[in-house]
Copies of this chain bind each other. A is one copy, B any other.
């Protein structure tokens, strides 16, 4: 593929469109690593900067994912995590024909800080139980979540979760027939070293953080969850 240097279209844009076409045609498959910047600049007969400009545009458009020190990769299809009143993790992903697993990473207790207290409607200092879980779709880690429950109310939640591997089922055993999503607060930040490792992603890529409060039929808060999604794999979709 030769570039035209006097067509009025800039070189970097011609390169961008060429690579975009090769991805669309299937010559480069999702997850594939593209040739290095050096190889591409040799192939197109241009400076590395010119290639980089084209790649930057492709990344901005979501077509590729650039990882320092590793290479440039064709972007895999992202998962739409649908948020509604009845959001359930497993159902949400099963809908996409994916095999979902939710391993338990750990659990413990801690007194409620300001954020937890506000979310669960309890006083600061009241003891809570936390459960940390990983969400995997088709074996790939996509999220890490910390779930907080009031300890006085859900003393045995850890055992219930360990047996059912589902928050919905565990809460059902403890008398919560149904719950709905009250609010979801979404932010973005860089991952902790620990979260990056659990999500099998570079520390240099951000995580999408969703803080959610679920309430029961009596509108009492039952669960406060802080979920860190791998932002390369998941988008949060809100459709009222």
Say whether A80 faces chain B, with CB atoms less than 8 Å apart.
Answer: yes
Say whether A105 faces chain B, with CB atoms less than 8 Å apart.
Answer: no
Interface size on A, residues (CB 8 A): 37
Which of B85, B192, B208, B240 contacts A188 (CB under 8 A)?
Answer: B208
Which of B181, B190, B192, B238 contacts A206 (CB under 8 A)?
Answer: B190
Minimum CB–CB distance from A204 to chain B (whole Å) comes to: 8
Which of B184, B186, B192 contacts A208 (CB under 8 A)?
Answer: B186
Q: List 22 A-B contacts (CB under 8 A).
A: A24-B114, A60-B192, A78-B187, A80-B185, A85-B240, A182-B239, A183-B237, A183-B238, A184-B237, A184-B238, A184-B239, A186-B235, A186-B237, A187-B231, A187-B235, A187-B236, A188-B206, A189-B206, A189-B231, A190-B204, A206-B206, A208-B208
Establish whether residues A186 and B186, one from each chain, have CB atoms under 8 Å apart when the complex forms.
yes
Which of A61, A78, A84, A189 has most chain B Cβ within 10 Å? Answer: A189
Residues of B within 8 A of A80 (CB): 185
The 5 closest A-B pairs by CB, nearest first: A206-B206, A188-B188, A188-B231, A184-B238, A186-B236
Residues of B within 8 A of A60 (CB): 189, 192
Q: How many copies of this kind of chain does the complex include?
A: 2
Residues of B within 8 A of A236 (CB): 185-187
Establish whether residues B235 and A181, one from each chain, have CB atoms under 8 Å apart when the complex forms.
no
Say whether A127 faces chain B, with CB atoms less than 8 Å apart.
Answer: no
Say whether A205 faces chain B, with CB atoms less than 8 Å apart.
Answer: yes
Minimum CB–CB distance from A92 to chain B (whole Å) comes to: 15
Complex-state Cα separation, A143 to B85, whole angstroms: 28
Minimum CB–CB distance from A88 to chain B (whole Å) comes to: 15
